[in-house]
Amino acid sequence: MADERKGMIYTIFTYAIWGILPIYWKQVGHVASDEILTSRIFWAFWLTLAFIFLIKGGKLLLADIKTLWKSKKSFFTLMLASYLITANWFLYIFAVTNDRIVETSLGYYVNPLVSVLLGVFFLKEKLTPAIKVAFGLAAVGVIIMTASYGTFPWLAFGMAFSFAFYGLIKKTIKLNALRGLALETLFVLPLAIIYYVYLFYTGQAAFLHGSGTTDLLLILSGAATALPLVLFATGAPLIPMYMIGFLQYIAPSLMLIIGVLIYGESFGLIEIISFSLIWCALILFTASKIIQVRATKKDKVKAAA
């Protein structure tokens, strides 16, 4: 019970950090999104690598690399995952720094439903009636929002699909979260270095050409990336999956509150109706998952008896 409580605390902190990160990215909103992404990749790799060696995990990291290289499929699959999460980071940073935090929250609300959809197509999972209804409610919510805006919320769905595909791939590769982050950023590190050289060569780089505060925030973007993952890797194994599924809504909820109350983004009647339908879909989806898990546990207990 103590472990489960500890797991809940770590996981809540994880999603809370992810939820308030838009405030962090807003502090470097004067820097171009592509440079913020480049900094995030560059510093996330070096800070994560330093931490791995600090906790004496260097040998395990080398072992992971050797294991991956033996299976070329796993190696290139992880490479694909690294590019998907990089795309997700870019869309997220672009949305936040362009006053579209509400759309960001929409993306992370819709993500669990997109993950289920991918499970149906790629893992041949079956949809329960409750989840079918949840999809219908969410679809109506998105259609109303699209009709109101006149444009499809491509940023939200770009984030939802890139992260869902990333999660689908990660299911097939078992890696420690911290070492996994080091390897994922390693795959895109050469591109980040080349792009940084280009920015410096053309005089477009904000890093080392502005205030010391901006430089520090860009360096610490690596820590802002790694810290929640470390917390999640520590807490998630200690609590049931349905609890993780429930707690994950902390992040988009905080994003929504921050976008509306702190940065004054629009959230009128249409948004209220659309989000209400999506929230109802998520409540139904989460409740059905909890009931399903409990029923499975009862069946196992009966079988054991």
Mean pLDDT of 59-75: 91
pLDDT of residue 304: 67
Alpha-carbon span 214 to 117, nearest angstrom: 40
Instruction: Answer for the pair 186, 44: CB distance below 8 angstroms, yes or no.
Output: no
**Residues 54/59/62/68 CA torsion (nearest 10 deg):** -110
Q: Which residue has the higher pLDDT, 301 or 118?
A: 118
Q: Angle at Cα 41 formed by Cα 166 and Cα 196, nearest 5°? A: 135
What tens digit of pLDDT does each residue of 20-56 get?
999 999 999 999 999 999 999 999 999 999 989 998 9
Confidence of residue 302 (pLDDT cuts 50, 70, 90): confident
What tens digit of pLDDT does each residue of 158-196 get?
999 998 898 888 878 888 878 988 999 999 999 999 999
Alpha-carbon span 108 to 156, nearest angstrom: 8
pLDDT of residue 94: 95
Is the pTM value of this prediction over 0.85?
A: yes
pLDDT averaged over every residue in the chain = 89
Angle between helices 72-97 and 33-54 (to 10 degrees): 130
Distances (CA, A) of 108 to 19, 65, 73: 10, 31, 29
DSSP 263: T
